[in-house]
Amino acid sequence: MEKEYLNLVYGELVRLSQDKNLFASVLSAVEDVYLRVEAAVSEAAGAANLAFECQRGCCLCCPPNVGVELFEILPLVASLNEGPTEVFADALEAAQREDTVGPGRISFAKMFLETSKEMPHCFLLDEEKACGIYNQRPLACRLHVSTSVAVCRQEKRPQFTPKFAADLDSRVKKIVDDFAASGHHLLTGLGGTMYRMLTYNPQQRRFGLNFFGQEIIFTRP
């Protein structure tokens, strides 16, 4: 990745963290992406005549290493800064005692990899094993649907047809392309695993985005 491009993206992220109106418009655009994706899932399922067995608390499909696009981290950080789930707050407290790295920052990578040995599930599940950030859950989670919870349980992967997957892929690509074309291209095309892209500053009690080692904090306007 070219340094010049990364500097551009970094500049845009800093601008968003400082300009509340701009940040509000990005949050609204991301919400629109998610609404359109939900509609796309329903339409693609309808076209393929599929019925999904997904339901609240069915956490077999929630691994600790969910991949996210850069724009997806923004509502997530803002939402976590309004208060993480009890489970997550406890994990953070334990991590603060054991593993604080850098200038007062917690190493999520180490924390979550260790946690995943005992409980191979996403750190954002709440105490009822339901998604603790449901409205802000990333695309990967919204697209992870299955016609058989039994298959998920046995094979650790969801069940759907390749035709449905291809149809959904092209619908979602169009939605993300539209988002990029509406002035947000710097927020697409870069991403990583959720736990590597999040930071937590225990002194400030703030979550942030870890952008190649630079911490940027976002709060909801």
Contact residues toward ligand SF4 (CB under 6 A) are: 53-54, 58, 60-62, 66, 122, 124-125, 131, 133, 137, 141, 144-146, 149, 152, 158
Cβ at position 125, least distance to ligand SF4 in Å: 5
Longest CA pairwise span in the chain (Å): 53
As a whole number of angstroms, the distance between CA 118 and CA 6 comes to 36
In one-letter notation, the amino acid at residue 185 is H
Cβ at position 129, least distance to ligand SF4 in Å: 9
Query: What 3-state DSSP class applies to 21?
Result: helix
Cβ at position 4, least distance to ligand SF4 in Å: 32
Residue 88 or 186: which CB sits closer to ligand SF4?
88
Residue 186 or 209: which CB sits closer to ligand SF4?
209
Token representation of residue 121:
């599930």
Residue 158 or 191: which CB sits closer to ligand SF4?
158
Cβ at position 108, least distance to ligand SF4 in Å: 13
Token representation of residue 87:
């489970």
Please report how the helices 3-18 and 20-47 are oriented relative to each other, as an axis angle in degrees rounded to 10: 110
